[in-house]
Copies of this chain bind each other. A is one copy, B any other.
Amino acid sequence: VSVLPAADAAHPAPFGALDAFFRPRAIAVIGASPQTLTIGHRIVENLLAYRFPGPIYPVHPTAESVCGLAAVPSLGAIAGPVDLAHVIVKNTRVLEQLEACAAKGVAAVIVNSSGFRETGPEGEDLERLLAQRARELGVRVFGPNCQGVISTEAACPLYSNFTFARVRPGAVSIVAQGGGVGEVINSELQERGVGLRMYASNGNACDVSVPEILAYFGADDGTRVIALHIESIPDPRALLEAAGAAAKRKPILALKSGTTREGARAVASHTGGLLEEDATTDLVLDAAGVVRVGTIRELCDAAQALAVQPAARGRRLAVLTNAGSPAICATDEAVRRGLCLPEPSGAATEALRSVLFATASLHNPVDMMATAGAREYGAAVRTLLADPGFDALLVAFITPFFVDCEAVAREIAAACAGAGIPVVANVMASPEKPAVKRILEAAGIPVYEYPEAAARAAAALVRAGELAARAEPAPVELPGVDARRGRAAIAACLARGGGLLAPEEAAALASAYGIPIPAWAAAATPEEACTAADRIGYPVVLKGAAAGLVHKTEEEAVFLDLRDRSNVFAAAADLLDRFSGRAPSLVVQQQAASGTELLVGASAVPGVGHAVAFGLGGIFVEAANDVVFRLAPLSSASASEMLSTIRGAGVLDAARSRPGVDRAALVDLLLRVSRLVGDLPEVRELDLNPVIAHPEGAPTLAVDVRVRIEALR
């Protein structure tokens, strides 16, 4: 997807994707207005105020001029080339302006006008027409019903937007589905002095999409951090790919709104989109390596830190303070966010002891007491930064009246210069001390007023580091996988139009992927069941299958712990009798030794692939509802992480009289399931429940294998 260069010999530089939007050489504003307080006036005003360097052409049927620029009655009246046009006319007249743009050779059009999908079926039709015609004409459309773009690039400062933030250049680029949220983020970052690189809010996004903009910001060297706000994900695969590629180059912070049912309903009503599953968003953003935040403020706090500090290489945070209680608030928050606070090394402790007052606490958080001055701060910061046991430093400073606070700030700034690990600061300054904050910020140290906000920012630096360190997953070795046999196992089911695999098909599929299941055999009569049980060895489980039988336990179609022939015979006879007329059949299965009951599964996620599931299984599924999902394909690392992520992860560990389970076997099983659904996209759902896990040495068995197949459309 790329924008064709405007046919203009004077601009020979090759135009990249979306360059016509963010680096246009000339702009027309169709619907420019001489009347103040209108969007058509404001955009011209903004372009002028922010000194767009190329020609700006206000297009108005009758006006002589707009904001002092000579107006033209139509695009056709413009002599020179035009890369970008704003369209601010009645919704029903947008299409004819699109045609005019194409005729003029305009590559990019921002449709600010509303009255499209967000207003109902008629608007939806209009929007569909607009998108279709744009494709036909080879014109890219941004919007409709949108704010527009901003860029602070020195070569092409551009405020092609009707908002009113006072922007100054920075390293954060913002792409926001919600214009209001985008504006709040932008204003807030400006107020904090963080600055902006580029801004895009593309409203209904009928053509140029959020993933395209992400890719563009990802490739832009001036963008150090991307702040993303999304409300709905029309194309999760595209988002996954674009965000995944961009996140390899720089951190992406994402706020998804509509995460509650009520919020999602409001999104649907607000954007005219569909009610969406938040689960897909979670999977996609996690798989793409995006740092997820929960609120606008958290997004801003994290962007502020990532704009100036490197990501952290690990989770070990040092906290240095001159006041105990706020540092404890920071400690609580850091730990809640998954960081740890190890003690300073022996050498560091000695160094601290030699320089700090006797009453100082040399544990982490290191509390130097209120009387600590520039000398103490400088020495302690240097000591902690040099301790290889830490991955990040949080410096807290409450400004006492009896300390030379500016000297402290200067000394902290000097001590942090060239630090190998990221630093954040929590300054709780009396109003008399605004300089403290200024000194630190000038040195590239992000300053937060609240200790918990500083801790959260540190956590964002840690998370960004973890995501950046996600290596290209090593190719997973899975001996015994036979994709051809796997495909064969589902062929008959596909041929009959899909549905649940029969027991022998499910077993064949498991076998093709090396998924261990207990010995089993099909049987049609009580006698056959007994013969099978003799062969398998007691105790056995007998399961009935029958037409319409789904909940086997509730319908008493499963007999556990059958210890001899007579029990098997009686149970088989009972099953065949009770389900007679429903085409009953029997499966005899080796009874797995009792162990830890888990669930491993996978389900198709429309447009994205499959999610692999891991959690507490058997009877725990419902009561504990403790299952985590990750997008396939899994790496060994992500499979391991799934094991640790469930709330009840403790059941996998050794405890009391019980040894821990064989984790490697579980990781292997997850990887096999991941491979299976990767090879066989027709698998709609796969449930291994329970998987009975045992300590190393004993087999980890999938006791029940349920697979639903659906032909791809």
Residues in A lying within 8 Å of B, measured CB to CB = 37-39, 42, 114-115, 118-119, 162, 164-166, 176-184, 187-188, 191, 229, 231, 255, 257-263, 265-267, 269-271, 295-297, 323-329, 331-336, 340-341, 359, 361, 363, 365, 367, 398, 401-402, 428, 430-432, 449-453, 551, 554, 616, 620, 622-626, 647-648, 650-651, 655-658
Contact: B266 with A365, CB < 8 Å?
yes
Instruction: Say which residue of B257, B323, B332, B626 sits within 8 Å of A257 (CB atoms).
Output: B332
Contact: B623 with A326, CB < 8 Å?
no
Contact A324-B180, Cβ < 8 Å, known A263-B332, A365-B266 = yes
Contacts of A332 in B (CB 8 A): 257-260, 262-263
Instruction: Say which residue of B180, B452, B453, B650 sits within 8 Å of A398 (CB atoms).
Output: B180
Cα distance A462–B188 in the bound complex, in angstroms:
28
**A263, A265, A323, A616 interface centre (most CB from chain B within 10 Å):** A263
Q: Can you report 12 A-B residue pairs in the complex whose CB atoms are below 8 A from each other? A: A164-B401, A164-B432, A179-B323, A181-B326, A181-B329, A231-B328, A262-B334, A266-B363, A295-B333, A296-B326, A623-B650, A625-B647
Contacts of A451 in B (CB 8 A): 184, 296
Cα distance A626–B647 in the bound complex, in angstroms:
10
- Since A42-B401, A184-B450, A622-B651 are in contact, a sample of 20 more A-B pairs with Cβ atoms closer than 8 Å, ordered by chain A residue number, is A164-B432, A178-B326, A179-B325, A180-B325, A180-B398, A183-B428, A184-B428, A188-B449, A257-B329, A263-B331, A266-B328, A266-B365, A267-B328, A270-B328, A297-B450, A297-B452, A616-B624, A620-B620, A624-B626, A624-B647
Contact: A296 with B329, CB < 8 Å?
yes
Q: In the complex, what's the smallest C-beta–C-beta distance from A478 to chain B, in angstroms?
A: 29
Contact: A265 with B363, CB < 8 Å?
yes
Contacts of A180 in B (CB 8 A): 323-327, 398, 428
Contact A178-B333, Cβ < 8 Å, known A401-B164, A625-B647 = no
Q: Who on chain B is nearest to A361 by CB?
A: B269
Contacts of A551 in B (CB 8 A): 656-657
Contacts of A401 in B (CB 8 A): 37, 42, 162, 164
Contact: B329 with A295, CB < 8 Å?
yes
Q: Who on chain B is nearest to A597 by CB?
A: B623
Instruction: Say which residue of B38, B229, B335 sits within 8 Å of A263 (CB atoms).
Output: B335
Cα distance A551–B657 in the bound complex, in angstroms:
9
Contact: A261 with B335, CB < 8 Å?
yes
Contact A336-B453, Cβ < 8 Å, known A180-B324, A326-B178 = no
Contact A450-B296, Cβ < 8 Å, known A266-B331, A325-B177, A361-B270 = yes
Contact: B257 with A184, CB < 8 Å?
no
Q: Who on chain B is nearest to A266 by CB?
A: B328
Instruction: Say which residue of B260, B334, B453 sits within 8 Å of A331 (CB atoms).
Output: B260
Contact: B452 with A295, CB < 8 Å?
yes
Contacts of A39 in B (CB 8 A): 402
Cα distance A119–B165 in the bound complex, in angstroms:
51
Contacts of A430 in B (CB 8 A): 164-165, 187
Contact: B37 with A402, CB < 8 Å?
yes
Contacts of A257 in B (CB 8 A): 325, 328-329, 332
Cα distance A428–B186 in the bound complex, in angstroms:
11
Contact: B398 with A184, CB < 8 Å?
yes
Q: In the complex, what's the smallest C-beta–C-beta distance from A367 to chain B, in angstroms?
A: 6
Contact A402-B359, Cβ < 8 Å, known A262-B341, A263-B332 = no
Q: In the complex, what's the smallest C-beta–C-beta distance from A181 to chain B, in angstroms?
A: 4
Contact A325-B398, Cβ < 8 Å, known A332-B258, A335-B261, A625-B648 = no
Cα distance A704–B637 in the bound complex, in angstroms:
43
Contacts of A329 in B (CB 8 A): 181, 255, 257, 263, 295-296
Contact: B184 with A326, CB < 8 Å?
yes
Cα distance A361–B257 in the bound complex, in angstroms:
18
Q: In the complex, what's the smallest C-beta–C-beta distance from A67 to chain B, in angstroms?
A: 14
Cα distance A623–B616 in the bound complex, in angstroms:
8
**A114, A182, A183, A361 interface centre (most CB from chain B within 10 Å):** A183
Cα distance A554–B255 in the bound complex, in angstroms:
48
Q: In the complex, what's the smallest C-beta–C-beta distance from A651 to chain B, in angstroms?
A: 5
Contacts of A261 in B (CB 8 A): 335
